């Protein structure tokens, strides 16, 4: 029995989904959606807040401010409410309505950026707004998940060791690249361990994290219009860029097997299937991907057929055969 007094005290760190029966290929997903914030971002949020408290920069008068496409905002909203801090989340129009309402339900203020920066997209516009807010009032404290080392240290201490413990014969690890906190924490851990694990970053087409050309992206989470300051490509063995329509198709294949998972998970799964087909076609590799969240917050977008067809075209839901990418 677990008894807790704060939402950040509960992290289910040992649940893995075996997707062989759904996908026709061996792939395990580390499921990070069963905590009170509903996503992997609770780890980074808790670590960044704890560090700010230790250093004395987060005080009872502080107002935490952060740019987020959704999941980190929910995690910080819950922690702030539990600890008695005010919190301002700066997001944009791609943030799911359910996610916004979750943040507001626990007392957060949500500011929605409606116009992207001409060169750096919505993220650039969000970061610009955060900087202006912080310059206007010294009470605002920006944790800055895009540069804060505790964004990756959290996963170096928890996520990666869990995977290493449960999969001693791990061959390939697939990690989505957004702010790259999860990616860098896991990649650093396995490189430092000396284990022969291939770490593959999964990014969205249109993201600039690994030098690709910027482009429109509609699914919040993975990808970035501004290269993350946390990213050190030397720790990453390979990169897969996934078109969003393939992310959606992967999600619908998973849903047909009873697994309702979040938008970033579709990208990770689609990227993993594509990489494994090209690099481990014999199907013998022990492969793990990280699933950041569950699918309930995406019911009005990637799981809504009209939304999908409006964004990606009439044939977007013409699914490939199971096991293909």
Active site residues: 41, 264
Among 89, 124, 94, 123, residue whose Cα is nearest residue 109:
89
Among 262, 252, 237, 239, residue whose Cα is nearest residue 312:
252
Q: Are 130 and 64 in contact (CB under 8 A)?
A: no
Among 159, 153, 194, 193, residue whose Cα is nearest residue 176:
159
Backbone φ and ψ of 18, nearest 5°: -95, 110
Q: Strand 140-142 relative to strand 63-67: parallel, antiparallel, unpaired? A: parallel
Vertex 145 angle, CA 215 and 176, to 5°: 50
d(CA 102, CA 106): 7
For the chain, the farthest-separated pair of C-alpha atoms sits apart, in whole angstroms, at: 58
The dihedral over CA atoms of 302, 296, 103, 44, expressed in degrees to the nearest 10, equals -90
Among 174, 130, 179, 128, residue whose Cα is nearest residue 151:
179
d(CA 36, CA 39): 8
CA atoms within 13 A on the CB side of 185: 30
Backbone φ and ψ of 288, nearest 5°: -130, 135
d(CA 113, CA 123): 9
d(CA 319, CA 18): 21
Instruction: Tell me which residue has tokens 């690249």.
Output: 177
């Amino acid at each position: 029995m677990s008894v807790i007094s704060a939402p950040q005290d509960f992290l289910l760190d040992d649940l893995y989904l075996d997707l062989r029966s759904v996908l026709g290929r061996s792939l395990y997903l580390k499921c990070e959606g069963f905590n009170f914030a509903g996503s992997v971002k609770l780890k980074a949020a808790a670590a960044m807040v704890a560090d700010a408290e230790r250093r004395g920069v987060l005080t009872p008068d502080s107002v935490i401010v952060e740019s987020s496409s959704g999941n980190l905002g929910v995690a910080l909203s819950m922690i702030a409410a539990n600890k008695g801090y005010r919190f301002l989340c700066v997001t944009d129009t791609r943030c799911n309505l359910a996610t916004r309402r979750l943040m507001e339900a626990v007392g957060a203020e949500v500011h929605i950026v409606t116009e992207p920066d001409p060169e750096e997209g919505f993220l650039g516009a969000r970061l610009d707004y955060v900087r202006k807010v912080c310059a206007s009032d010294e009470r605002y404290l920006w944790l800055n998940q895009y540069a804060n080392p505790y964004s990756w240290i959290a996963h170096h201490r928890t996520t990666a060791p869990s995977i290493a413990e449960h999969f001693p014969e791990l061959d390939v690890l697939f990690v989505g690249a957004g702010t790259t906190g999860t990616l860098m924490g896991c990649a650093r851990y396995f490189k430092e361990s000396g284990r022969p694990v291939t770490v593959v970053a999964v990014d969205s087409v249109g993201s600039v994290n690994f030098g690709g050309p910027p482009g429109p992206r509609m699914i919040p989470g993975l990808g970035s219009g501004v290269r993350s300051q946390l990213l050190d490509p030397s720790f990453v063995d390979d990169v897969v860029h996934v078109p969003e329509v393939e992310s959606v198709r992967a999600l619908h294949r998973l849903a047909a097997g009873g697994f309702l998972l979040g938008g970033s998970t579709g990208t990770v799964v689609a990227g993993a299937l594509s990489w494994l087909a090209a690099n481990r076609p014999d199907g013998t590799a022990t492969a793990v991907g990280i699933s950041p969240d569950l699918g309930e917050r995406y019911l009005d977008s990637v799981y809504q057929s009209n939304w999908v067809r409006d964004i990606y075209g009439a044939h977007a839901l013409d699914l490939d055969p199971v096991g293909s990418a």
